[in-house]
A and B are shown apart, each in its own frame.
Chain A
Amino acid sequence: DTEVTQTPKHLVMGMTNKKSLKCEQHMGHRAMYWYKQKAKKPPELMFVYSYEKLSINESVPSRFSPECPNSSLLNLHLHALQPEDSALYLCASSPRTILHYGYTFGSGTRLTVV
């Protein structure tokens, strides 16, 4: 299995809703990442988990809450989002945070906040 699987593919949520994005990989990668991508822009790093521990938080607002239940799963909990949070949310993994192997990205969750 050489894929990163993200669910759901599309999500529409109101500003008072709570929702979660899920990411799964079975490549044995020990580093997992959440990226946010706006249209025609590069991916923007949000969080890095290394060996299931949060190692980097790029000053992301607390309405985004990451969770890494085990080495294969990564969640992003969403609460009280704003319309400007609408974007493509990408999960990625790599063998380790030593990035000489590049990322394997999922196809993303297209999030719309209304």
Chain B
Amino acid sequence: QQQVKQSPQSLIVQKGGISIINCAYENTAFDYFPWYQQFPGKGPALLIAIRPDVSEKKEGRFTISFNKSAKQFSLHIMDSQPGDSATYFCAASRTNAGKSTFGDGTTLTVKP
């Protein structure tokens, strides 16, 4: 049973547009929700993360929106750039679990 469902699987956005990637989780014990960005041939890199006591977190062009009652969170990339083209993974973990559960990933392509 997949605990974190991510959508869409792939996304194509024009330069300057807004990219939106969604994740839904099932385990209400999760209390940390990071997003990772992975370029081809590289390991994932932590992009931004949120905890359930906050509904939104913004870092530059990247924003996480969190809806605790719906058990959903999303990544918004404002003013998307070709350099943002990568695979994005959402994840969820709970304190002391020692590991994260990853979504299946979204391949983002930003067209110039």
Contact = CB atoms under 8 A, between A and B. Distances in A.
B28 interface: no
Contacts, number: 65
Contact of A42 (B51, B96, B97, B102): B102
Contacts of B45: 105
Interface string A35-54: 00000111101001010000
B44 A43 contact: yes
27 contacts: A40-B105, A40-B107, A41-B105, A42-B102, A45-B100, A56-B98, A90-B43, A90-B44, A92-B43, A97-B99, A98-B95, A99-B97, A99-B98, A100-B31, A100-B51, A102-B34, A102-B36, A102-B49, A103-B36, A103-B46, A104-B46, A105-B36, A105-B45, A107-B41, A107-B42, A108-B42, A110-B41
Contact of B43 (A55, A100, A106): A106
Nearest to B100: A99
A99 B32 contact: yes
A103 B105 contact: no
Interface of A: 4, 31, 33, 40-43, 45, 48, 50, 55-56, 90, 92, 97-100, 102-108, 110
B46 A43 contact: no
B104 interface: yes
B11 to A, nearest CB: 14
A98 B43 contact: no
Ranked nearest first, the 8 interchain pairs of A and B with the lowest CB-CB distance are A105-B43, A42-B102, A102-B46, A97-B98, A99-B93, A102-B34, A90-B43, A100-B32
Contacts of B100: 45, 99, 103
A100 B95 CA distance: 7
